[in-house]
Amino acid sequence: MVLLTSDALILRTWPVQEADLIVSFFSRDYGKVKGVAKAALKSRKRFGGALEPMTLARAYFADKPRRELVRLDQLESLRSPLALPVDYVRAAVLSFYAEVLEEALPEHDPHETVFRLVLAVLDQTTVENPWMPLTYFSLWMIRLMGWLPDLSVCSACGERLHMGEANFHPQLDGLFCMVHRHGSGQMLAGDSWQLAHRILREPVTALAQEPWPRRRGQDLRRFTLQALERHLERRMRSGEALMRL
């Protein structure tokens, strides 16, 4: 049995037996891990308030060869999402982060770039401005998972796209020119197309001071949600809730 420790983001918990929990967490050093936290519902000393999804914690756990679940001994909370005000929208955005990470990341595969992305957007996800970090996270996740073709050219013909002519389809990757657009597809507004290019070349802090009403980048978020659902082959419940707002 190997004793391990790593900074980790809590993704999800499931109750088992009377007071035990199965905890899914995304660790910086060991990737996504699932473990059994014995008496987690009773032990404030070992777990305290660190079991809330998207809490950044120091995880102490034991890994035994050929065991699917590790033994999670302790979580030391480093940053709680509840330290800042929470409303319905912010809660839904945090749930979306956790759901995407839970479904998209393979087990035991460290992904430092994704870990740093999540920490960066968590710093910006506030009640006053939830839409910018949500848009930033969604686009970068499909980029880092390898699901995002070049947004500057048509995925069908390779011709360079221009503002106001980029289209996307829920069943197809990439963007399409006016000639190769599909009848049931949607137009990506010129502002959103430019915004996507900015997101891919600028840090999230560079966008944080701009006004971000709900409608800004709404079609871009739809584009990224469709890409996530297409590759994960499932509906994202938190994503659908956000799209209905």
Q: Are residues 144 and 218 in the same domain?
A: yes
Say how many domains are in the chain: 2
> What's the mean pLDDT when you consider all of the chain?
94
The model's confidence at residue 45, banded by pLDDT at 50, 70 and 90, is: confident
End position of a domain, from candidates 82, 97, 124: 82
- 78-83: which pairs have CB atoms within 8 A and are 24 or more residues apart? 78/7, 79/55, 79/122, 80/49, 80/50, 80/52, 80/55, 80/56, 81/52, 81/53, 81/54, 81/55, 81/122, 82/49, 82/52
Q: Name the pTM for this structure.
A: 0.95
pLDDT of the residue at 44: 76
Range of the domain at 236: 84-243
End position of a domain, from candidates 26, 50, 82: 82
Q: Are residues 132 and 199 in the same domain?
A: yes
Q: Are residues 71 and 95 in the same domain?
A: no
pLDDT tens digits, residue range 183-205? 888 999 999 999 999 999 999 99
Task: Kindly state the average pLDDT of the residues 101-116.
Answer: 96
End position of a domain, from candidates 28, 63, 82: 82
